[in-house]
Amino acid sequence: MTAVEVLQPAIIYLGAGLASALASRAVRLSPIVGYLVAGLVIGPSGFGLVKNNDTAAFLAQLGVVFLLFDIGLHFSLREIRTRRDDILGLAPLQIVLCGAVFAAICWGLGFAIPVAVIVGVSLALSSTAVVGRILADRNQPACPMGRSATAVLVAQDIVAIFILVFAASLGADPNVVGYDLLIALAMAVIALVVALLAGRFVVRPLFKSLAATNNAEAFTVVALFIVLAASAATERIGLSLTLGAFLAGMAISDTPYRHVVQTEVKPFQGLLLGLFFMSVGMGVDIPAVAAIWPAVLLSALVIVILKTVIVFAAARLNGWALPGATQLGFLLSQGSEFTLVVVGVSTIAGAMPGAWAGILTAAVAVTLVAAPIWTALGLHIARLLAERSKTAPVDTAEVAEENPVLVFGMTPEGRLAADAMRDHDIPYLAIDSDPERFVSASSDGYSVVYGDARDRRLIDNLGAAKARAIVIGAPGFAGPGSLMPANGAGGPARFIVVADSADRVRQSGLGLRAHLAVAEPKGIELATDLLSQMGIGQPAIAQWVQDQAERRGLLDREPEPEPEAA
């Protein structure tokens, strides 16, 4: 075999991947859909330009390995503590409800119980890639709805690891199901312990030494070495490549170098994962799917509608208001790339009756294509619900009992102040008289009521005299004077924090803590001062600021210095 013959498949793969990625971006579709279509075109059912071979299969598996590594980078004990309501409440409820419904449907269609459970739970998962892009396009990653969606996706990705381990080890004997689940649980516990120890005593000192050399390329080499070595080690002891990759990500997740490593390995992950999805597309039998296209469209419709309804119900059960729960349900309604991974496992695809492997692959692809349109519909409905809620009565007695931080004006500064309170479990209530800001904040999941800060009755009913703090998020706000009497003699000691860019001197003269919003994210000066006044320590504030910068893509690519030990 000549060198040209060896290189030809790689050239076709790369060319098809590049063309599909550019085309997907041009029409604003998920790149996953483009890769699937590219696989269909170049595969045996298309023009037959390439065939699946061992090398392509191995590289495709490496794509999944890097995906699990990225998931591990986002899984840390600190993240669990911060988002525990979503990771330990909303996410499990959504997965259990969706998984049970889809598993029951699969069982009714003739799937064996183990296969029905695996496929059903995989259908309960949503696409991290698609949801992440939608949130980024709408500038929603930092709002409560975006944060909760991201937390649910992280929890779903952890469940996906169990599914992959279970699917890969599934045999013909259904009696091994319980045993495999116990093994998967034991491996997860071991992975957690090893990752925490390795991150503290091996990875952190190693990256600290690399940071001292100012050699950016060394981070790439070491990151690749860690993920591949950990994957090979777990494979060698009889576990799986993916579990080792997840373990490696966890080892790095609690270090200050997580975002640097994530940036360095992202190109490898994107390239190899794209190859995986192309290999999935190559395995689809186009003539067979064309003959059953009504089943494909019906399956896609069932997946989207059921998940929208179930996620909405789970969000409501977890205390979400109607607008936020609606938007969350529509956002997480599509299928997941992990469903494609599961269906691509030979033992699962071979055990599925009839043409269901091809139907589900095509149906999930349809849901990924339709996700932006469906999510836009959900946002529209959420805004209509928020508009109607403007006249809804507020239980002012309950609000006053909590002594919350009151945030007037859901501007970017006001939103950041609300984020700070929510992240530190401090009760808050936002008030806004601007219709557009109110509808936007309400549909994004913030606790906000419609009202005018100059309405003395509203202020008194909300217990402003006992509020922990009053945040004014609109520069040039006309209401501080109306709020000042509640701050008079005999009232509880408290303070007012103001975001202001033009009238700082006058407001400071009134005794208000006035801040200029000059740094990014906008209002960070106000938010950090508010956290300090709430009794949050400086190390926790610094970590929160870093999280906000990372969430908004504001961090530099250079490694951060290792913080000095206390």
Q: In whole numbers, what is the pLDDT of the chain averaged over residues?
A: 78
pLDDT above 70: residue 496:
no
List Cβ neighbours of 138 (8 Å cut-off, separation of 6 or more). Answer: 379
Q: Helices then strands (H, E): number in the chain?
A: 28, 6
Mean of the pLDDT values across residues 184-189? 66
Q: Is residue 161 within 8 Å of 243, Cβ to Cβ?
A: yes
Q: Is residue 428 within 8 Å of 538, Cβ to Cβ?
A: no
What are 212's two structure tokens?
A: 């001292």
Which amino acid would we find at residue 561? P
Q: Is residue 499 within 8 Å of 392, Cβ to Cβ?
A: no
Beta-bridge partners for 498: 472, 514
Q: Residue 453's closest CA among 426, 471, 441, 428?
A: 471
pLDDT tens readout for residues 451-490: 877 777 777 777 777 788 888 887 655 554 555 544 443 3
Q: pLDDT value at position 120?
A: 93
Q: Give all domains of the chain, ordered by start, each with its CATH number.
A: 7-386 (1.20.1530.20), 393-551 (3.40.50.720)
Q: Residue 533's closest CA among 541, 522, 545, 544?
A: 541
Angle between helices 258-282 and 241-253 (to 10 degrees): 160
Q: Is residue 500 within 8 Å of 411, Cβ to Cβ?
A: no
| Spatial distance between the Cα atoms of 41 and 554, rounded to a whole number of angstroms | 39
List Cβ neighbours of 414 (8 Å cut-off, separation of 6 or more). Answer: 407, 408, 430, 432, 471, 473, 474, 499, 523
Q: Residue 462's closest CA among 534, 390, 408?
A: 408
| CA 266 and chain centroid, separation | 16
| Spatial distance between the Cα atoms of 328 and 197, rounded to a whole number of angstroms | 36
Q: Does 116 or 400 have the greater pLDDT score?
A: 116
Q: What percent of the chain has pLDDT over 90?
A: 11
| Spatial distance between the Cα atoms of 503 and 241, rounded to a whole number of angstroms | 59
End-to-end CA distance of the chain: 62
Question: What DSSP state is assigned to residue 492?
Answer: P
pLDDT tens readout for residues 376-428: 899 999 989 888 877 666 665 566 567 788 888 888 888 999 999 988 888 88
